[in-house]
Structure 1
């Protein structure tokens, strides 16, 4: 998930549902209020209404008005569904954020084990040694998934649990056994496993041996690791992503140094070594070629028999020009180029975005003809993690305050979320997250047009709240704003699908509250609450809402496209 960039915001408790009629035509905006009324005497409506009434009766006393009228308003929406019959409705997780058991059953030390145990790296001084202990509680988590009605679970494999020393050591059979048990348990319950090979964590051995992503040697290691996973798990896993958010991984690891291996230049962060102007691009280049190595292994050895799909997951914000000026429009193109297109373009087209090449020149590594041949069309789907949107101001021809994106190595643009005193959307609990549902439709449509409508999967989308000690468990369970967020973004996604975008799945981040990287346990993204002392899991209002959404649209009659 996204990093917390600014100060805590005060919690607000808005109404859950917007007014029924929008002032904007459907062609110009996507809101939660666009709906068509079902007949009041519909047996289907009455059955759903009775079900929702029973659900609300079980909830803790809400501190905001959540009336039967609101429930009826929700149920009057059209049940015509744009989703494919095999659409994946799921929740997402990652190994370091969820598993715990950091030294159990032969697991090796990972880069995040080292990083989180280094004083000052995690804001609350915590770590993922236990996390939410999904390593031991996965059966309970799968029961929770089934109760929510999801048909898929996106999780990552701990590279260090499978290969504690990379290709320089033995395969850890206890790690293989754990993931086999997890995958078998998911399949038994009808939950499709979606597996990420690298979600930020990797064996520390590879960092110490040759500098991990700064060395081309990592490509061989990652290809070997992928081969092991395809061999042992590919008969049951039909959806693979090689990496999660490598654009964040290299920016935070090699530009500002907040992620391992904590390398950066003085003007960007407080690191003992590194070069923020060059190393992010070297690391990214090796990640892209490692992706190509894994895809090559899968396609030549496994895909025909296993009949799966493989792609990569990027963090994808939506960017809009701050003004109508040509300079801000060009800056927005640069923002896209230096963000998700930095990785998507080489993997789809076999080359870096032109905007990056023009600005960076020889700083940007080159692909050989052999590399380009391997890379082109090197994915079966785009994985999209989307949380928020930004305005973009030009910093190439205009003066900008120092900040995110303003330097040459970042593309000479500035990301901001307010214009002329007005925020881009409702400000969320975390400083960086503004609620702008339209961004989902616009972003999906942008990728549809740029990449010839290659299949897309929304691999993460979610709303974060501060884990304030002033709030009770009941406050966290009554996560009205997360429901409002999910409702708006899902309706926006539906609008994009109705306009022809080939979207195959949607995963809420996250199933559970968890360890949020450098923010530790100070933020909660789960649709299920976790008591970090007892590890008790409790569905929040958003989990029950998501179940209602899946029941309504996942199993509803399909609309004509």
Structure 2
């Protein structure tokens, strides 16, 4: 075979699938001794600003208030009841022909407080059945160990990931699930979208502001602990089954300069460097040198213990995965904050202010593969929209176009030489929105009859996109 023979199509063994999160789908928030997670305190706000990312409650007073609230509606406590309907829902995934299914294990279903020594067997029984059912339906299970389901007890009593003890608690949990499913699950993602610190770390900043002068320092301390935990997951996986693949995941937030003005270019370069840090540490195994200046100017000096750098270097992730939804632009006037950005004037946007940029996914794939030379999984990609049921279904041509345009650009990236092995669109079935806790922000191929306040029959309906994705999979991406 010619070494330089071009790549022309999706690989024959390409994993076409979809992704959900336990906290957005399962419900059953207080059944079978499950504990309270950070997602369970997310209150639905009928007056929310859809174009603003909301995140989780972040002060101790807010947490105490919602724990005692008996009137507000907390959508992620109930979600779409996947805990009880997973067999029927997975049968629909099989009907589409999906080759893989990504979901998470809810930490609090196994360790209600997070610091227990032994897991809750009722919780393990559920995941035994769930993973077996995924495999039974011909899909490769892809398991996220932590997808914004951190035990609330660890937040209140340990200050979340800012406390190094949480590494031990997390590894106790991670070792239980990796060991139990080591012969059933090949692909693992320890942390979902690790760069979205407003969701993933869950440090109660209201507490930290009273205890420390530099909350950004505390954020980097918490991130360092997560980096170590990710490397330790790689180490343990290789000890129990060398065939297991541990991936790192981030939300693609790499931005483009708004103009060719040199100052805009430099400011954008520096902002993108900060987004690449997560891959630099988890794929290359070391903190990049440019952080020396950043830490000095921002007075950041988090604690590393002897041996930490060696652990990061010895146990990098096997593959990269990322979520991709939209793109933004940056100027010299924008701050260092990752969400201080401008809209791209050349792109349309959804009702939630998310620009639709299919070419951006090709740009991202080339960017990451050129830098890290690791296999890539698209862990999330989808369009949130307000769907309307007509004639017993949803005619979602807008979703078909969005996904088809993105998949076409993925194919172009494969032609460019990118080693892409899986596509987990978000989400094959309607679930509660992460950022706004709405049901009305729908992503799925399968409509779930539940409204923003939990009312509805829970009936599942196949949308037009259901049959479209069926053809995409059966044609291995040739029919879009």
Aligned residue in 2 for 1:530? 448
Counterparts in 2 of 1:167 and 1:86: CA distance versus 1, 3 Å: farther
Map residues 256-335 of structure 1 onto 2, 5 A cutoff.
Answer: 260-263=202-205, 276-300=215-239, 302-304=240-242, 307-335=243-271
Aligned residue in 2 for 1:207? 155
Matched, 1:489 2:425: no
Deviation by residue 1:50-102 (Cα, 9 ceiling, x = unmatched): xxxxxxxxxxxxxxxxxxxxxxxxxxxxxx96222221110100110000011
- Say what the alpha-carbon RMSD is for the aligned residues: 2.7
Map residues 139-150 of structure 1 onto 2, 5 A cutoff.
Answer: 139-150=87-98
Deviation by residue 1:123-154 (Cα, 9 ceiling, x = unmatched): x9432121001110000111110111111100
Counterparts in 2 of 1:224 and 1:365: CA distance versus 1, 3 Å: same
Does the 8 Å CA contact 2:221/2:303 hold for their aligned counterparts? no
Distance 1:265 1:369 in 2: 28
Matched, 1:83 2:10: yes
Deviation of residue 497 (structure 1)?
Answer: 0.7
Matched, 1:455 2:394: no
Does the 8 Å CA contact 2:256/2:330 hold for their aligned counterparts? yes
Distance 1:265 1:203 in 2: 17
Does the 8 Å CA contact 1:430/1:466 hold for their aligned counterparts? no
Counterparts in 2 of 1:114 and 1:348: CA distance versus 1, 3 Å: same
2:330 is aligned, of 385, 392, 398, to 392
2:348 is aligned, of 402, 409, 426, to 426
Counterparts in 2 of 1:474 and 1:197: CA distance versus 1, 3 Å: farther
Aligned residue in 2 for 1:251? 198
Does the 8 Å CA contact 1:93/1:154 hold for their aligned counterparts? yes
Deviation of residue 253 (structure 1)?
Answer: 6.7
Map residues 228-239 of structure 1 onto 2, 5 A cutoff.
Answer: 228-239=176-187
Deviation of residue 512 (structure 1)?
Answer: 1.5
SS of the equivalent of 1:290 reads: helix
Aligned residue in 2 for 1:549? 472
Counterparts in 2 of 1:120 and 1:130: CA distance versus 1, 3 Å: closer
Deviation of residue 480 (structure 1)?
Answer: 1.4
Distance 2:140 2:398 in 1: 28
Does the 8 Å CA contact 1:253/1:263 hold for their aligned counterparts? no
2:295 is aligned, of 360, 365, 377, to 360
Distance 1:478 1:438 in 2: 25
Matched, 1:343 2:285: no
SS of the equivalent of 1:524 reads: coil
Deviation of residue 197 (structure 1)?
Answer: 0.1
Distance 2:303 2:211 in 1: 24
- Contiguous gaps of at least 5 residues in structure 2: 1-6, 45-62, 451-455
Deviation of residue 262 (structure 1)?
Answer: 4.7
Matched, 1:380 2:318: yes
Deviation of residue 380 (structure 1)?
Answer: 0.6
Deviation of residue 529 (structure 1)?
Answer: 0.9
Map residues 138-217 of structure 1 onto 2, 5 A cutoff.
Answer: 138-217=86-165
Distance 1:141 1:154 in 2: 13
SS of the equivalent of 1:363 reads: coil
Counterparts in 2 of 1:337 and 1:474: CA distance versus 1, 3 Å: farther
Matched residue pairs, number?
A: 441
Does the 8 Å CA contact 1:334/1:355 hold for their aligned counterparts? no
Distance 2:168 2:279 in 1: 21
Does the 8 Å CA contact 2:41/2:74 hold for their aligned counterparts? no
Aligned residue in 1 for 2:362? 441
Deviation of residue 509 (structure 1)?
Answer: 0.2
Q: TM-score, normalised by structure 2?
A: 0.85
SS of the equivalent of 1:434 reads: coil
Deviation of residue 554 (structure 1)?
Answer: 5.3
Distance 1:476 1:378 in 2: 45
Does the 8 Å CA contact 1:251/1:280 hold for their aligned counterparts? no
SS of the equivalent of 1:429 reads: coil
Aligned residue in 2 for 1:37? none
Does the 8 Å CA contact 1:424/1:434 hold for their aligned counterparts? no
Distance 2:17 2:144 in 1: 14
Does the 8 Å CA contact 2:159/2:204 hold for their aligned counterparts? no
- Contiguous gaps of at least 5 residues in structure 1: 1-79, 255-259, 401-405, 557-561
Deviation by residue 1:483-518 (Cα, 9 ceiling, x = unmatched): 111011111111011111011100110021111134
